[in-house]
Structures are given as structure tokens and as C-alpha cells.
Amino acid sequence: MLERLRQITQEVSLASDTQQALQIVVDKVCATLGSEVASVYLADYPNQQLVLMATEGLNPKAAGVLHLSFNEGIVGLIAQREEPINLEDASSHPNFHYFPEAGEEPFKAFIGAPIIHQRKVMGVLVAQQKERRRFSEMEENFLVTLAAQLAGIIAESKRRDKLTDSSGQYHVVRKLSGFPAASGVAIGAAVVFYPPADLSGIPDKEAKSTAAELKRINKAFRLARAEIEQMKQRMQHHLAAEELSLFDAYAKVLDEKGLQRDVIREIDMGHWAPGALRRAVEQHTRIFETMEDPYFRERATDLVDLARRVLVHLEDDKTARPKLKRQAILVAEEITAGLLAELPTEKIKGMISMRGSPTSHAAILAKALGIPAVCGLDNVPINRFEGQEIILDGYKGDIFLSPNEGLRKQYQQLIKEDVLISRDLEQYNSAPALTTDGFHLPLLVNAGLIADFEKSVDVGADGVGLYRTEIPFLMREQFPGEEEQVRIYRAALEAFKGKSVTFRTLDIGGDKQLSYFPIQEDNPFLGWRGIRVTLDHPEIFLVQIRAILKASIGYSGIRISLPMIASIEEVDESLRLIDQAYYEVQSEVSPAVIKPPEVGIILEVPSAMYQIASLVNRIDFISVGSNDLAQYLLAVDRNNTRVSSLYSAYHPAVMRALHFIRQQINKNETGLYLCGEMAGDPMAAVVLLGMGYDALSMNARSIPKIKKVLAQFSLQESQTIAEQVIQLEKAKDIYDLLFHHLVTRGLGGLIRAGH
Ligand code: PEP
Ligand code: MG
């Protein structure tokens, strides 16, 4: 059964549209259960009905025509109850009802399972048989499992249909929803950036010159064949002749009579080389993958791998690389610091990252650059965006493809309002962050890119609360050496002359991967991250601390913060290494010029909350990393789009944890800051002020906004609000309360222009 399920889902996922996918399902269900009928009904919510979409055994003409209201028949009951029904004799069931007009007979045996995706009933999968019989437990399990697997595939397939109509042309207006990653609105043409050598993401395009494409592909195949030959040579002494023959088989796949011939045929039909390669491979793999024999399925994997090698050589061809010549909306599977580093950021109007969530690093980078962004559109093939006109709403997380004039006007108005709000906020650049009763809350910046420093100085930040040192590391091809790091850190100190700068030690792992130091784990956020990596590699840690100390010569207010601290041993070991680096540097330079840095931790692992009494004896400050703290408190991966709706800084547990932390720390002895994304959220900032946090660190662009918010509240008012917040039981209630407070003070526009 498992093998059968695997085959069906694989075939379904290869279907070109939803209709074809459903037809495959019903055919396969009949074949597997030996039933006379199998049908899929899909829910049509606006009309409150279930529509027969595909059937094997009933009249095919009834597909798309026959519909039942939500409470009609046994099918309706399955949808309503959200559970399977297995009947030996359906005709004796009170809900029994049949449709002769659809070619239905009073079938006896009946089994049905709901198709549910992310808590929503998408439809019902049914099998029927004339004879009286009870479907076995195994058959029932098969249907339920298939329906559960189908739900995701159907949801994805429907999303694809939304983007392309049946003729393969793009629809007039289509809306997609992701997560708001960076506020603002952008209108522009999409430019899609494909990950290197990702075959499946390649779009179909017409070749400008068939001769040029043929030349490119022949060269790429030649290079790939040479590579295989080299691999064979290298392995000559390590493998037996029999095993070595595998390389000959590979070379054969790549030779002129194999894959290359089919690719050339596609190019001759007018396709550009990468598209032709993808098409030829798809044709082959479709055949391989549906074969029962595992040997042939393996060959499909080999073929894709070989084709990828060819693609690498095609993409090496500089002319094939996408460029950002004019202003555009950047679309990529994952927007990384590396990708941004290669592009002129002033040309990026907006960014769409298929992966990620509002606190993923793609989102953090977008906010730092002030570029509206949407992320988390998992399973939408990026090639569908190619060449499309797009409206991107970074407040709501919506994307509109090929918008009509009305919608475009509406959004142009919103952009105008945004500009007015930004202009209004400029007056706060030079103003201190004061409440109505004159309380000063220091606002610091989270930095990492050079662009951050420039912006931070413009908006009058009180210092750097979080320098993410991994960002310069992410943009290099190898670990930067001590001298290079000194130059990087000194640039930050120079930009912030006289103000404090908190350097967080290298925080890699999780979703921050260095290309030159890959960490592969099943649970990266629970794995080798932050301080865990650097304590295991004291040579990396020591060089970094030495560089920070050397860069700090001549400056004051240098702080070091340690990410992902979960235990006291980690603090002690880090302090020992920091001491060691300090004495080493001191012995190298004149002792008078180097001061010991203040050291603190990023409180982001919940275990640290319960060790505050021990921590404060050792360190100078605590900075709450609310992005990760919320992730670990709620057990919600901050990058997993399936569960992103469960991730909220307004969750009562998060709010109460922040309050608890404040209660544990003596106000005059240890500084307590917060450096997660919520610091720059106008609603959360009011609560943090009220709770008594000593400073907030946020992306530079949020600073004027937060100054404006603070200027509308007294310290006393914010304290009352914080007290109310920690009493509330639901994230939505907390959100609504704060939203109300901001809107009544005329600050709704800071949450979304137009309010
Ligand atoms: C945090 O976790 O809140 C934080 C500031 O660090 P990062 O987002 O870089 O993990
Ligand atoms: Mg963190």
C-alpha cells in the first residue's frame, strides 16, 4: 500500500493542472480498491456547495456540473463531520441520496474521506461499489492517507492554476498571499532570480537565436562529459572495473545520441537552451518515475543530477545570468544576503522570497534596506512570476499579478500616503525619543550591512544595540581574517562615534548558513547554532574577539553579546575566552588604550529565563532576542510557512515571559534591552516601554516611527497598557487592544498607510 501511495502522489504531483491531478486520483483509487466508482468533490465556499470535480465510474459529463449543498447526502456529512465514513450498505443510511442524472445507481458499498488542508475542508474523496461489502480497515487507511496527502498537492495545484490559465497564458489579475516581511508597497515588473542549477525553476522562453542556443548547449554538454571523464579518472584507483562502468553509463546519457539529442530537438522547436534542457529531462523522468521497478526510478535521479551538471555549465555562461538593469521587484526562492550583495539595491523596488517568515533573515535584510517585502509563498513555482507586472503589499503580505487599472490606482494612492508618512517622520530624525511626560527611552539600531550604518546615523539612533556580525561573514567566500574583521568593525565604530556599539559574536546555524562552512542538520534551529558553534571552534571565536578589541582602540562603549546562551557553563567558557583574547591583545598593544568590554547575553533560549539570578552575577547586560525567544517558547519554527500563523509576538506567553524577565532583573544593576523585531513594532514598543525595558534595538527605519509613537504616550499610560496586556488570554485580544490605542491617537497609519 505504501508503495502504491507513493506512486499515486508522485504521479499526481507531476500533473499539469488540478483537473488532471484529480482524474489520476480517481483512476488510481478505483484500480487499488477494485471499486466501480471513485469521485472527488471539491468545496466551493462562496456558493456553499460541494462540486463533483472528477469521477471514474459515474457519467464524466457530470463533472463540474453536479453539486450538493454542504449538508446534502453522505458526502456532505463527511465534509461536515470532518471524518471518514465506511458503509456496507449506504442505502440504509438516513442521508442516503443518489443522482441518476450523473449515472449514479443505488450503490451499496460506500467509503469516503474528507480532504483537509490546514484545517480547512477542501473536499471529499469517495469510492463506491454495487455489491454490499465493507471496505477493509487497510482500504480505509489507504483512502484516508491518500486524502491527507492529496490535500497539500491540491492546494498547491490550485495555486498554480491561479497563476496560469488552461492555455498556458497568464490570467488578468491574480492574488497570492504570503507573510508581510517588510512594510511598504511596490508596483513594478518582476525579475526572477533562480538558484544556481535548479532545473525545475527554469521557465519556458523563446530562443532569440537558435544557432546561439545550440552552440551554448553543445559546449555545456561537452564540459559536463569532460567532468564525468575526470571523475572516472580520479576514481580509477578506488573503484572496481564494474563500478567504474557507471561513469561510462553516465557519459552515454550525455552523449550526442542520448539526452543531448532530445535537448537539441527542443531548441530546434524554438526554446532557449535551459528551457529545452528542462523539458527534455521532464519527458524522460516522467517515464522513469512511474515505473514500478526501483532501479528505473533511481535512473531518473541520475538523469536529473546529470542534467544539473549541464545546467551549471550553461549558467556559467555570463550571458545567461539575470541582471537587474532597471528598477524591478526581485523574486527568488530565498533572498539571501549574498544575493543582495551582488545587486544594486537602489534598483530593487520590492522583494518576494518564496521561503521565510517575518522574522527570517530575508525579512530582516529587507527591513534594513527599507524595501517592501513579502515572503513565505512556499510551493508557488517562481518561474510563474517571470515578466509579470506585480503589486506587492508588504503591510498585508499580498501580491497581485497583472493588476487592473483600478487596483493599480488604489495602490498608487497608498504609495503616495506612504511617502507623506515618511516625510512626516523625518521631523523625528533629530528629535530624542521622549514620552509625553519627558521620559527618555534610548532607541538603538540593529545593524549588519553598511547601509544600516548610514541610515542609523540619519535617524538619530542612540547607538547600535545589535551588530549582527555574521552578516559580513555571510557575504564572503571564506572566514574573514583578523585584520579584515578589524576593518569591518572599525567602520561601524567610526559611523557611531561616541555611541555604544554592541557586537554580537558570530551567530551562524539555523537559517544563517555560510556557504564555506555548511551545517546540515535535521533540526537546524535546535542544533549547532550561535555560541554552540563558536565555543566548539575557539579559533574562530578568539579571532573575532581579538578583532573587536583591536577595532575598539580609541573608542568607548564597546559591548559584546553572546547569542543562544542556554547554560551558565557557556557563559563561563565564553568569558574565559574573552579574557584570554583581552590579555593577548593587551600584550600586543599599549595597555593603556584597551579597556575591557562589557559583556552580555542575548536572552533567546527559554532556559536562560530561569537562570537570570546566576547570569546577572557574571554579565553586564541582557538583551532579549525576542525573535528566537518566541520561536522557542511557542515551538514554532520562525521560517516554516506552514506554522507561521502560530508565531506571534503578541502571544500571551511571549508577553508574560517578557514581563517575567523584567521582574527578575534589578533595574539599577543590569541593563535590560530588547533587540528582536518587536522592538520596532509600534504596538509592541508601547508595551515594552510600559514593562520597563531600558532600551529597544530595532532596524534603523523603525526609529522615527517609534519616536513618533512614544511622543503620544506617557510613561504612566504605557504602564497601564502593559498591565492590561499581561492579563489577556489571547494574541488577538492583545493585538486588538494595542491597535485600538494606536488608532485613537492617530497612529494607525504607522501600522498600515491609509488607516
Ligand atoms: C532574535 O533572535 O531576536 C535576534 C535578535 O537575533 P536573530 O534575529 O539574528 O536571530
Ligand atoms: Mg536570535
Of all atoms in ligand 1, which is nearest to the CA of residue 623? 5
Of all atoms in ligand 1, which is nearest to the CA of residue 631? 2
Question: What's the 365 CA to ligand 1 centre distance in angstroms?
Answer: 12
Give 493-505 pLDDT, tens digit per residue.
998 888 999 999 9
Q: How confident is the model at residue 317 (pLDDT cuts 50, 70, 90)?
A: low
Grid cell in block for residue 343: 545587486
Between CA 358 and CA 638 the distance in angstroms is: 8
**Coil, helix or strand at residue 468:** strand
Ligand showing the shortest atom-to-Cα distance for residue 675 = 1
Residue type, 530: G
Question: What's the 530 CA to ligand 2 centre distance in angstroms?
Answer: 8
Residue type, 269: M
Check whether 111 has a pLDDT greater than 70.
yes
Strands laid side by side in the 37-44 sheet: 67-69, 49-56, 37-44, 120-129, 109-117, 85-87
Beta bridge partners of 112: 85, 126
Output the DSSP codes for 313-324: HHHHSGGGS---
**Coil, helix or strand at residue 425:** helix
Residue type, 186: A
- Atom 3 in ligand 1: residue holding the nearest Cα: 625
* Location of C-alpha cell 555549465: 313
- Atom 6 in ligand 1: residue holding the nearest Cα: 625
Of all atoms in ligand 1, which is nearest to the CA of residue 364? 8
Ligand 1 site: residues with CB under 6 angstroms?
466, 468, 507, 604, 625-628, 675-676
Predicted local confidence at residue 79, as pLDDT: 94
Q: Which residue has the higher pLDDT, 553 or 165?
A: 553
CATH superfamily of 198-320: PtsI, HPr-binding domain (1.10.274.10)
User: Crossing angle, helix 241-254 and helix 259-268, to 10 degrees?
Assistant: 10
Predicted local confidence at residue 240, as pLDDT: 58
The average confidence (pLDDT) of the chain is 87
Residue 544's CB: how many other CB atoms inside 10 A? Answer: 24
Are 680 and 709 in contact by the 8 Å Cβ rule? The answer is no
Q: How confident is the model at residue 560 (pLDDT cuts 50, 70, 90)?
A: very high
Between CA 328 and CA 658 the distance in angstroms is: 40
The CATH architecture to which 178-192+322-403 belongs is: 3-Layer(bba) Sandwich (3.50)
Give 211-251 pLDDT, tens digit per residue.
999 999 999 999 888 878 877 776 666 555 655 676 777 78
Question: What's the 577 CA to ligand 2 centre distance in angstroms?
Answer: 21
Question: What's the 340 CA to ligand 1 centre distance in angstroms?
Answer: 20
- Whole-angstrom CA distances from 393 to 364, 376, 382 are 17, 14, 18
Are 458 and 496 in contact by the 8 Å Cβ rule? The answer is no
The CATH architecture to which 427-750 belongs is: Alpha-Beta Barrel (3.20)
Predicted local confidence at residue 189, as pLDDT: 94
Between CA 728 and CA 332 the distance in angstroms is: 39
Check whether 208 has a pLDDT greater than 60.
yes
Predicted local confidence at residue 227, as pLDDT: 79
Of all atoms in ligand 1, which is nearest to the CA of residue 624? 3
The phi, psi pair for 624, rounded to 5°, reads -80, 125
Model-wide pTM > 0.85: no
Domain 2-170 classification at class level: alpha beta
Name the residue of 361, 532, 675 to mutate for ligand 1: max ligand atoms within 8 A of Cβ. 675
Specify whether the backbone of 475 is left (phi greater than 0), alpha (psi in -120 to 50) or beta. Answer: alpha
Between CA 400 and CA 173 the distance in angstroms is: 7
Indicate if the alpha-carbon torsion angle 430, 435, 441, 444 is positive or negative: negative
Q: Which class for 302: exposed (0-12), middle (13-18), buried (19 or more C-beta within 10 A)?
A: middle
* Domain locations along the chain: 2-170, 178-192+322-403, 198-320, 427-750
Name the residue of 503, 507, 623, 693 to mutate for ligand 1: max ligand atoms within 8 A of Cβ. 507
Torsion angle defined by CA atoms of residues 290, 296, 297 and 299, in that order, rounded to the nearest 10 degrees? -130
Are 693 and 661 in contact by the 8 Å Cβ rule? The answer is no
**Coil, helix or strand at residue 754:** coil
Predicted local confidence at residue 337, as pLDDT: 60
Please, which residues have CB within 8 angstroms of residue 167's CB and are 6 or more apart in sequence?
none
Strands laid side by side in the 179-182 sheet: 174-177, 398-401, 389-393, 185-193, 328-332, 348-353, 373-375, 179-182
Question: What's the 118 CA to ligand 1 centre distance in angstroms?
Answer: 28
Between CA 9 and CA 506 the distance in angstroms is: 42
Between CA 698 and CA 710 the distance in angstroms is: 14
Beta bridge partners of 155: none
Beta bridge partners of 180: 374
Between CA 99 and CA 102 the distance in angstroms is: 6
Give 20-70 pLDDT, tens digit per residue.
889 999 999 999 999 999 999 999 998 899 999 999 999 999 999 999 999
Predicted local confidence at residue 327, as pLDDT: 92
- Atom 8 in ligand 1: residue holding the nearest Cα: 627
Q: Is 361 a catalytic residue?
A: yes
Torsion angle defined by CA atoms of residues 392, 397, 400 and 405, in that order, rounded to the nearest 10 degrees? -60
CB-based burial, 342-363: b 16+ in 10 Å, e otherwise? ebebeebbbbbbbbbbbbbbbb
Q: How confident is the model at residue 169 (pLDDT cuts 50, 70, 90)?
A: very low
Predicted local confidence at residue 267, as pLDDT: 94
Between CA 418 and CA 403 the distance in angstroms is: 20
Are 47 and 61 in contact by the 8 Å Cβ rule? The answer is no
Are 660 and 628 in contact by the 8 Å Cβ rule? The answer is no
Question: What's the 627 CA to ligand 1 centre distance in angstroms?
Answer: 5
Between CA 464 and CA 329 the distance in angstroms is: 30
Of all atoms in ligand 1, which is nearest to the CA of residue 470? 9
Check whether 166 has a pLDDT greater than 60.
no
Ligand showing the shortest atom-to-Cα distance for residue 468 = 1
Are 563 and 602 in contact by the 8 Å Cβ rule? The answer is yes
Question: What's the 564 CA to ligand 2 centre distance in angstroms?
Answer: 7
What does the chain come to in residues? 755
Pairing of strands 185-193, 328-332: parallel
Predicted local confidence at residue 286, as pLDDT: 77
Of 150, 185, 158, 560, nearest in space to 373 by CA: 185
Between CA 219 and CA 62 the distance in angstroms is: 53
Predicted local confidence at residue 298, as pLDDT: 59
Please, which residues have CB within 8 angstroms of residue 392's CB and are 6 or more apart in sequence?
185, 186, 187, 329, 349, 350, 352, 372, 373, 374, 398, 399
Helix (H) or strand (E) holding 618: none
Output the DSSP codes for 711-740: TT--HHHHHHHHHHHTT---HHHHHHHHHH
Predicted local confidence at residue 299, as pLDDT: 66
Give 272-293 pLDDT, tens digit per residue.
999 999 999 888 877 776 666 5
Q: Which class for 3: exposed (0-12), middle (13-18), buried (19 or more C-beta within 10 A)?
A: exposed
Ligand showing the shortest atom-to-Cα distance for residue 564 = 2
- Atom 4 in ligand 1: residue holding the nearest Cα: 625
The phi, psi pair for 592, rounded to 5°, reads -65, -30
Name the residue of 529, 604, 624 to mutate for ligand 1: max ligand atoms within 8 A of Cβ. 604
Specify whether the backbone of 132 is left (phi greater than 0), alpha (psi in -120 to 50) or beta. Answer: beta
From the list 30, 284, 375, 675, the catalytic residue is: 675
**With pLDDT > 70 as the criterion, what percentage of the chain qualifies?**
90
Between CA 117 and CA 42 the distance in angstroms is: 12
**Coil, helix or strand at residue 171:** coil
Q: Ligand 2 being an ion, which residues bring their Cβ within 5 A of it?
A: 604, 625, 628
- Atom 10 in ligand 1: residue holding the nearest Cα: 628
**Coil, helix or strand at residue 158:** helix
Please, which residues have CB within 8 angstroms of residue 293's CB and are 6 or more apart in sequence?
none
- Whole-angstrom CA distances from 325 to 344, 347, 362, 513 are 9, 8, 22, 28
From the list 361, 651, 659, 741, the catalytic residue is: 361
Task: Calculate the CA 400 to chain-centre distance.
Answer: 19
Of all atoms in ligand 1, which is nearest to the CA of residue 446? 5
* Location of C-alpha cell 443505488: 106
Between CA 18 and CA 15 the distance in angstroms is: 7
Question: What's the 466 CA to ligand 1 centre distance in angstroms?
Answer: 9
Predicted local confidence at residue 392, as pLDDT: 96
Question: What's the 356 CA to ligand 1 centre distance in angstroms?
Answer: 14
Grid cell in block for residue 408: 493599480
How many Cα atoms occupy the beta-carbon half-sphere of 95 within 13 Å? 16
Ligand showing the shortest atom-to-Cα distance for residue 676 = 1
Residue 168's CB: how many other CB atoms inside 10 A? Answer: 8
Q: Is 675 a catalytic residue?
A: yes
Are 142 and 33 in contact by the 8 Å Cβ rule? The answer is yes
Of all atoms in ligand 1, which is nearest to the CA of residue 563? 6
Predicted local confidence at residue 320, as pLDDT: 47
Ligand showing the shortest atom-to-Cα distance for residue 630 = 1
Between CA 686 and CA 435 the distance in angstroms is: 10
